[in-house]
Amino acid sequence: MNERILLSAPDVGEREEAYVVAAMRSGWIAPLGPDVDLFEQEMAARVGVAHGVALSSGTAALHLGLLGLGAGPGTVVVTATMTFVATANAIVYTGAEPYFVDSDAYTGNVHPGLLREALHRLTASGERVAAIVPVDLLGKAADYKEIDRVAAEYGVPVLADAAESLGAHYRGRAVGSLAAASVVSFNGNKIMTTSGGGMLLTDDARLAEHSRSLSTQARLPVTHYEHAEVGYNYRMSNILAALGRGQLTRFDGMLARRRRIRETYRSLFAGVPGVTIFGGENDAEDNCWLTAVLVDADTAGWSAADLGASLRAVNIETRPLWKPMHLQPVYAGARSTLNGQAQRLFETGVSLPSGSALRGTDVDRVAAALQDFVTVYS
* Nearer of residues 86 and 91 to ligand PLP, judged by Cβ: 86
Residues in region 187-206 near ligand PLP by CB under 6 A: 187, 198
Contacts of residue 139, Cβ cutoff 8 Å, sequence gap at least 6:
164, 165, 167, 168, 191, 286, 287, 288, 289, 290
Beta bridge partners of 198: 55, 185
* Nearer of residues 177 and 185 to ligand PLP, judged by Cβ: 185
Which position among 84, 144, 278, 346 is part of the footprint of ligand PLP (CB under 6 A)? 84
Task: Check: CB of residue 184 under 8 Å from CB of residue 58.
Answer: yes
Task: Check: CB of residue 243 under 8 Å from CB of residue 195.
Answer: yes
Residues in region 282-321 near ligand PLP by CB under 6 A: none
161 binds ligand PLP (CB under 6 A): yes
* Nearer of residues 274 and 279 to ligand PLP, judged by Cβ: 279
CA 82/CA 17 separation, integer angstroms: 36
* Nearer of residues 107 and 310 to ligand PLP, judged by Cβ: 107
Give the binding range for ligand PLP (CB under 6 A) out of 79-87, 98-106, 170-178, 294-302.
79-87
The closest residue (CB) to ligand PLP is: 58
Residues in region 11-70 near ligand PLP by CB under 6 A: 57-59
Q: Which string of DSSP letters, residue by residue, matches 138-194?
A: GG----HHHHHHHHHHHT--BEEE-TTTTT-EETTEETTSSSSEEEEE--TTSSS-S
Give the binding range for ligand PLP (CB under 6 A) out of 19-27, 83-91, 113-121, 205-213.
83-91
* Nearer of residues 331 and 373 to ligand PLP, judged by Cβ: 331
CA 199/CA 192 separation, integer angstroms: 12
CB of 132 to ligand PLP, least distance (A): 15
CA 295/CA 302 separation, integer angstroms: 8
For 55, the 3-state DSSP assignment is strand
HSE-CB for 262 with a 13 A CA cutoff? 26
CA 170/CA 142 separation, integer angstroms: 8
How many residues contact ligand PLP, by CB under 6 A? 14
Which position among 86, 150, 293, 363 is part of the footprint of ligand PLP (CB under 6 A)? 86
User: Which spans of this chain sit near ligand PLP (rule: CB under 6 A)?
Assistant: 57-59, 83-84, 86-87, 135, 161, 163-164, 185, 187, 198
